[in-house]
């Protein structure tokens, strides 16, 4: 049974993160793997978006501290950014291609953890 779990996890990880989709008006920053250790992109470090004072790792830490982000699911969290905020959410939200076309920074702001790139203020809109 455990072997099947790891096989399923490997398949999902390869499928979900092989090529992160582009979202209108947003830039893919990276993913937060199981355990919330650090933000990664293509198994390497992630750069801070231009104009942001808060790094992606700091944004993740603030989300863990202030929004009770828990990285205990096989579906990793991903981080996207617009010109002023990070948006942290489960990769499963990305859904299919048709659904992704409907995702904007405004819609993400209503259903994700939002961390301001300058101030570090956190708003948790999950479950609203």
Mean pLDDT (whole number) for 68-74? 81
Q: What is the DSSP letter of 21?
A: P
Residue 47 is predicted with a pLDDT of 85
pLDDT of residue 82: 93
Mean of pLDDT over the chain = 79
Answer for the pair 87, 112: CB distance below 8 angstroms, yes or no.
yes
Residue pair 39/57 in contact (Cβ under 8 Å)? The answer is yes
Higher pLDDT, 103 or 70: 70
C-alpha span between 65 and 62 (Å, rounded): 5
Higher-pLDDT residue of 46 and 75 is 46
- Name the residue ranges covered by the structural domains of the chain: 2-124
Token pair recorded at residue 79: 């981080």
| More confident call, 99 vs 8 | 99
Specify the pLDDT at position 5: 40
Q: In this structure, are residues 76 and 56 in contact, taking their beta carbons and an 8 Å threshold?
A: no
Higher pLDDT, 32 or 75: 32
**Contact partners, residue 32, CB within 8 Å, separation at least 6:** 38, 39, 40, 60, 69, 71, 76, 77, 78, 79, 88
Q: How many CA atoms lie within 13 A of 25 on its CB side?
A: 15
Q: Give the model's pLDDT for residue 2.
A: 41
């Amino acid at each position: 049974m455990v072997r099947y779990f790891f096989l399923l996890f490997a398949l999902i990880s390869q499928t979900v993160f092989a090529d992160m989709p582009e979202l209108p008006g947003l830039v893919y920053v990276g993913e937060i793997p199981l355990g919330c250790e650090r933000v990664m992109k293509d198994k390497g470090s992630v750069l801070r978006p231009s104009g942001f004072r808060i790094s992606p790792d700091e944004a993740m830490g603030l989300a863990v501290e202030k929004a009770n982000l828990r990285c205990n699911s096989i579906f990793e969290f991903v981080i996207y950014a617009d010109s002023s905020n990070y948006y942290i959410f489960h990769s499963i939200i990305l859904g299919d291609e048709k659904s992704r076309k409907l995702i904007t920074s405004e819609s993400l702001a209503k259903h994700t953890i939002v961390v301001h790139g300058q101030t570090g203020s956190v708003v948790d809109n999950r479950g609203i």
